[in-house]
Amino acid sequence: METTLIFLKPDAVQRGLIAPILARFEAKGLTFVGMKLMNVPRATAEQHYAEHAGKPFYDGLLNFVTSSPVLVLAIRGVNAIAVCRNLIGATNGQKAAPGTIRGDYGMSGGNNLVHGSDSPESAERELKLWFGEGGIVDINKTQNQWVYDPSDLK
């Protein structure tokens, strides 16, 4: 099992897309192990997007993500990072495949609805930043026997 960080950005929250987006992750068979609605402190946004500091879009990105509440999620499942990124789709909603979150709901590269960790290292760093110690719940969902073949869990 792998745990990844996902957050629904201000545009997803303001557009009332929380429920349909959450439903996609849940219907896929992934498990929510952390969830919180919050206003993002500027310092947290700066830490989260530190790799983009100095790039032309950096200040706009910080202003956007701190402009309105976000829904922060820790999601667990087999290969959760890759599975979630496939569900999210390409960065720009105009280019994202139909059936993905961005492909179905997005029209922008900047206001792109969802963030998802892009590697195990990023997921570890981001989960610590957003949830700290003890912010993620261990849950043994009985659905896993219906979601995964036993060989998937080895």
Yes or no: say if 89 and 73 are a contact pair by the CB < 8 Å rule.
Answer: no
Task: List the one residue out of 14, 8, 55, 62 whose CA is nearest residue 35.
Answer: 8
Is residue 154 very low, low, confident or very high in pLDDT (cuts 50, 70, 90)?
A: confident
Name residue, tokens 């957050």: 7
Residue range 2-143 in CATH 3.30.70.141: yes
Q: Of 71-80, 103-112, 137-146, which has the strongest mean pLDDT?
A: 71-80
| Portion of the chain with pLDDT greater than 90, in percent | 87
User: Is 115 annotated in the active site?
Assistant: yes
Task: Report pLDDT digits (tens) over 30-57.
Answer: 999 999 999 999 999 999 999 999 999 9
Q: How far apart are CA 9 and CA 68, in angstroms?
A: 8
Residue 59 confidence (pLDDT) = 95
Whether the pLDDT of residue 11 is over 80: the answer is yes
Q: Which of 40, 74, 115, 116 is the catalytic position?
A: 115
